Structures are given as C-alpha cells and as structure tokens.
Homo-oligomer: A and B are copies of this chain.
Amino acid sequence: MNILHTSIVDRLLRAVDRVVAPPTAFAHCDLPCGVYDPSQARVEAQSVKAIQERYQGADKMKSATETVDDYRARCLSIKEERANLVKEHLWVLWTDYFKPEHKEKYPQLHDLFWSATKEAGLAKKSQDPAQGQKLLDSIDEIANIFWETKKG
C-alpha cells in the first residue's frame, strides 16, 4: 500500500475514532479550555480557495445585480478577511496548543507554521486557486502532526 493510501487509511481510522468515541475536549483559549481543532483554520482556507475560483469565473458566479468589477472587488476584500482568520487560527494553535515536547518530536514545527501563515499572507495577493490549494496542503500537514500528538 503506498504512502497516499496509508495516509487515507490513517485519516479514515482517525475519523472512525472521532465518531465512535465521543470527542474529548482539548483547548483554544488561554483559560485554557483545552479545545483545539485545526479544522478551524481549514474551513477558512477552503473559503480562500473557493473565492479564488469564483474570482476566475466571476462572470458566471456574480449576481445579476452586480458588475464583474464589483464582484471581484468583493472577492478581494472578503478573501483578505478569510486569510486573516487562517493566520489567526494557526497562530493560536502554534503558541497555545503545541508544547516543547511536541517541538522535540517534530523539529519542523516552527517552519511549518511560519510557511503556512506566510502562505495565508500570499493568498491575499493571489487569485490563483492553486495557491489556495498550497495553503490547504500546508494546513493538512500541520493537522497530521496535530492528530498524531492527540493519539500519543
């Protein structure tokens, strides 16, 4: 079974775990409440990519009540916000969830977050869905590590 399949199976089993056993709560405020979930960043990044796709197909996606230019201006300002939310959720995960012992086990941790948040910054300047996909991929890489630390 190749790596891709292994990863799919891993994620499948993880999904099964999350469904069968009631999810234990983790943390995303500094109480801390212990609830963290990389899906928060992912949802916003999906939105970023979807906006980039809509920007490309603006003439088909826009409402009858707005011009292509208006629609694209809205794409840009909404994407700006969504990309900010991606950064925000990632930063919280990096500072608040991950601990020195994780850093030791995953020495790439800092660089992963640095490049993922930089990619989110680039998303503001790019209307190319391939860029949005890169952002999603970098979040998935972080999510994989996150879920591995949860299994431990």
Contact = CB atoms under 8 A, between A and B. Distances in A.
Interface residues of A, number: 67
Copies in the complex: 6
A75 B133 CA distance: 25
A27 to B, nearest CB: 7
Interface string A55-85: 0000000110110011111111110111100
A50 B76 contact: no
Contacts of A66: 125-127
B65 A73 contact: no
Interface of A: 8, 11-12, 15-16, 18-20, 23, 25-31, 33-35, 37, 39-40, 43, 46-47, 49-51, 53-54, 62-63, 65-66, 69-78, 80-83, 87, 91, 94-96, 103, 110-111, 114, 117-118, 121-122, 124-128, 131
